[in-house]
Amino acid sequence: MRYRAAARDAYVVRPVDDLTLVYHRPSGMTHVVSPAVVAILDLLHERTLGIGEVCEQLAQHHDLDGEGDDIARVVGARLDEMAAMDIIDRIA
């Protein structure tokens, strides 16, 4: 499975203290997300990546806790949450 961010005009991202708000324009819903979600969203702009590629990119710029499979499981869960919010698309 690969993932790609929705078009930038589909949502608005605003930091609030340690969290970030993501307003999804098409649905009118606002989501409270962690910095990890914002980092993944930034990676998926204008490119399509698989879970392994997202993990590699995150590891280059962030200190990730855990081992390969554990990190992939956590990143996969975040990607599923983001797809459910419609801020990223799953590409088969």
The pLDDT tens digits for 58-72 are 888 777 666 667 888
> Which position has the token pair 């605003």?
14
Task: Say if domain 2-91 classifies as CATH 3.90.930.60.
Answer: yes
Query: In angstroms, what CA-CA distances link 40 with 6, 87?
Result: 12, 11
User: What are 8-60's pLDDT values in tens digits?
Assistant: 899 999 999 888 999 999 999 999 998 889 999 999 988 999 999 999 888 88
Which helix (H) or strand (E) segment is 81 a member of?
helix 68-84
Domain ranges of the chain: 2-91
Query: What's residue 15's pLDDT?
Result: 93
The DSSP string of 22-80 is: EEETTTTEEEEE-HHHHHHHHHTTTS-EEHHHHHHHHHHHS---S-HHHHHHHHHHHHH
Which residues partner with 12 through β-bridges?
23
Q: Hey, what amino acid is at 33? A: V
